[in-house]
């Protein structure tokens, strides 16, 4: 039987890695330490928590690693613009630091962009790649997300209509997960970067 992760205690599972570029990257690791590694890369404004409902199932036979990307979760949030190559390099450093190469890489949204960049630049450290709700290039800065982000003002209310819509699901998801996800989301620097055309 798969044991679920307590959303209330999820932060206690996080570890910190100091990368060669000086960035501190937070991550969760679970499963079989001798199993084939699977790296789970979250989407824009998410964190490793976005995999907390799925990871226990993968952990029954794999070594699962789920980082908080720079600007997200408990990872460092340096000032300035973040680029896909820069963020992909962070992940590459983490893979090498943890001795997890070659690793299968699963990427959702922004994480999918990074998975593609890692596989293209360093194919030797990647096994299989799984892409979820992602693209090969950034879309134009228009539409519902872009328009709503421009209207956000600090501090961002995790219970605002926009955040509740952003952190929602078309299929039923436990409310404890969504409540924590909303609180995590408003602390991520990514919203602020997108609003200043940095991401």
pLDDT, tens digit (0-9, with 9 covering 90-100), for 117-160: 999 999 999 999 999 999 887 666 667 777 787 777 778 899 99
- Asked, for residue 53, whether it belongs to a domain, the answer is yes
- Asked, for residue 173, whether it belongs to a domain, the answer is yes
We report the CATH number of the domain holding residue 150 as: 3.40.50.1820
- Asked, for residue 19, whether it belongs to a domain, the answer is yes
Determine the structural domain holding residue 65 and report its residue range: 10-195
Provide the whole-model pTM.
Answer: 0.91
- Going by pLDDT thresholds of 50, 70 and 90, the confidence category of residue 42 is very high
Would you say 38 and 63 are in contact if contact means Cβ atoms under 8 Å apart?
A: yes
Phi, psi of 104 (to 5 degrees): -75, 145
- Asked, for residue 2, whether it belongs to a domain, the answer is no
Would you say 95 and 39 are in contact if contact means Cβ atoms under 8 Å apart?
A: yes
pLDDT of residue 150: 76
- Asked, for residue 153, whether it belongs to a domain, the answer is yes
- Asked, for residue 67, whether it belongs to a domain, the answer is yes
pLDDT of residue 98: 98
What proportion of the chain, given as a percentage, has pLDDT over 90?
A: 69
Across residues 56-75, what is the average pLDDT? 95
Beta strands 126-132 and 63-67 are unpaired
- Asked, for residue 1, whether it belongs to a domain, the answer is no
Domain count, the chain: 1
- Asked, for residue 5, whether it belongs to a domain, the answer is no
pLDDT: which is higher, 199 or 22: 22
Q: Which of 166, 186, 188, 167 is nearest to 178 (CA)?
A: 167
């Amino acid at each position: 039987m798969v044991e679920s992760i307590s959303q209330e205690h999820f932060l206690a599972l996080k570890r910190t890695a100091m990368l060669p570029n000086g960035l501190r990257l937070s991550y969760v690791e679970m499963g079989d330490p001798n199993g084939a590694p699977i790296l789970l890369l979250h989407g824009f404004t998410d964190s490793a928590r976005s995999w907390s409902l799925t990871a226990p199932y993968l952990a029954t036979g794999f070594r699962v690693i789920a980082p908080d990307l720079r600007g997200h979760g408990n990872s460092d949030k340096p000032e300035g613009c973040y680029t896909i190559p820069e963020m992909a390099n962070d992940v590459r450093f983490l893979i090498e630091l943890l001795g997890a190469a070659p690793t299968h890489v699963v990427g959702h949204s922004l994480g999918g962009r990074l998975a593609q960049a890692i596989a293209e630049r360093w194919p030797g450290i990647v096994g299989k790649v799984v892409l979820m709700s992602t693209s090969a290039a950034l879309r134009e800065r228009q539409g519902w997300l872009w328009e709503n982000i421009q209207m956000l003002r600090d501090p961002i209310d995790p219970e605002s209509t926009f955040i509740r819509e952003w952190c929602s699901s078309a299929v039923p998801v436990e409310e404890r997960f969504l409540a924590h996800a909303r609180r995590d989301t408003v602390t991520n620097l990514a919203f602020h970067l997108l609003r200043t055309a940095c991401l």
